[in-house]
Chain A
């Protein structure tokens, strides 16, 4: 399973490096979302600073939608998804590989957006440990839930519009918990962030475990 996950993850990342879609489209989109929030709330710099964690995680969620959509669009072209099924790869390995590749892209985006909130919102980054662990746990949860939603929508003609409808409600607890954990860390009260961090960890564990079991049947039905 891990061999298959590495193979699929490396393939997906190689596709992204070659196509530069993440670099040229997803990253600029994510920064634009931050800029738009800044325009909308600019008259009240205090509000912008206090809302920064929530705005940051909303921007991450929107970017995740694009990354997930892209990950499954690649498999839709020229029957590539059938090629994956024919290969005999372990479906759990395919799930882990695709989720890991999405997570890798999101982590890079989160660093970029972190710089964005510092520059645009004047946020002072504190509680580095909680901030970093929140990013890791929330990213794992978003990537796992997103990969499941992606394969669920993959075989449908309306997949582009269906994916946000499937993912956003599921991702809401991640956005909430990650925002609360970041708020606590940025307020210098990291200890209050740990319960939210544990919730994020549990969410990620549940969706990774569910994906390992459910991805195969969903891939067959797609």
Chain B
């Protein structure tokens, strides 16, 4: 089976500056991986590059066996990204947003009802325009899309941010369930304890490269340096 993510000397530019400068990353299918690192280190850019949203301009990059530089669309169909943006249309209702995202991805809509209930978006909320939701509720809608769609590779950028305590536990449940079902999950997060409970494999993004974390203490120091 092809690795979920394979990057070799990958370079990603933000403007003229390299956000990733020759990064190496190997994530096997079915793994859960935690990315840490100071603010501005390139965690979000790495996730967006894995989703094919920012180009890898040098080096090699494969997602689920698809060459990202040559066939980004083929990779995108199999990837789900929860980024800082939630990709919602403010004037559409919660339900319409979820249905559109699933249909656009060519996924079935049978799981919509269960996903909305699971993320606490059933009842009155399903008919509310996304523009009237709180930030936390918007992230729940984005998570409902992932839960209903069940992509093979989940890329989660600060998935706990802005979500209440019950919602944060739910995020962890979804991650563990996705992994149990065989999906690969990459989480960029500053919540070290939560991440440690989800996976033993932790990587540090810093200085444009990706390295294994020596220990949770290293991570804490790195995070503190970026705070």
| Chain A residues with a Cβ under 8 A of chain B | 4, 7-8, 11, 14-15, 18-19, 74, 77-80, 82-89
Secondary structure class of chain A's binding surface, majority of residues? helix
Whether A88 and B87, one on each chain, are in contact in the complex, defined by CB atoms closer than 8 angstroms, is no
Residue of A8, A15, A83 touching B101 (CB-CB under 8 A): A83
Contacts of A83 in B (CB 8 A): 85, 87-88, 101
Query: Quick check: B53 and A89 within 8 Å, CB to CB?
Result: no
Among A7, A78, A82, contact of B90 (Cβ-Cβ < 8 Å): A78
> Known: A79-B85, A86-B51. Contact between A7 and B91, CB under 8 A?
no
Closest chain-B Cβ to A96's Cβ sits at a distance in Å of: 14
A86 to B91, Cβ gap below 8 A?
A: no
Identify which of A11, A80, A82, A86 contacts B79 (C-beta below 8 A). A86
11 extra A-B contacts, CB within 8 A, seeds A8-B104, A79-B83, A86-B76: A74-B89, A78-B86, A79-B85, A80-B88, A82-B53, A82-B83, A86-B52, A86-B87, A87-B76, A88-B73, A88-B105
| A11 and B105 contacting across the interface, CB-CB below 8 Å | no
B73 to chain A, nearest CB (A): 6
How far, in whole Å, are A80 and B105 apart by their CA atoms in the complex? Answer: 14
Which residues does B use to contact A, with CB under 8 Å? 51-53, 73, 76-77, 79, 81, 83-92, 96, 100-101, 103-106, 129, 138
Distance in angstroms between the alpha carbons of A94 and B70 in the assembled complex: 21
Residue among A15, A74, A77, A88 having the largest count of chain B Cβ atoms under 10 Å = A88
Closest chain-A Cβ to B162's Cβ sits at a distance in Å of 13
Q: How many angstroms between the C-alpha atoms of A88 and B152 in the bound complex? A: 14
Cα separation A7 to B51 with both chains bound (whole Å): 22
- Bound state CA distance, A15 and B101, in angstroms? 14
Which residue of B has the minimal Cβ distance to A91? B73
Q: Which residue of B lies closest to A86 (CB)?
A: B76
Q: Chain B contacts of A15 at CB under 8 A?
A: 89, 91-92
Is there contact, CB below 8 Å, between A85 and B91? no
Which B residues touch A84, using CB under 8 A? 104
Closest Cβ of chain A to B105, distance in Å, is 5
Q: Assuming the A-B contacts A85-B53, A88-B73, are A11 and B92 also in contact, with contact meaning beta carbons closer than 8 angstroms in the complex?
A: yes
Contacts of B92 in A (CB 8 A): 11, 14-15, 18
Q: Give every chain A residue within 8 A of B101 (Cβ-Cβ).
A: 83, 87
B197: min CB distance to chain A, Å? 28
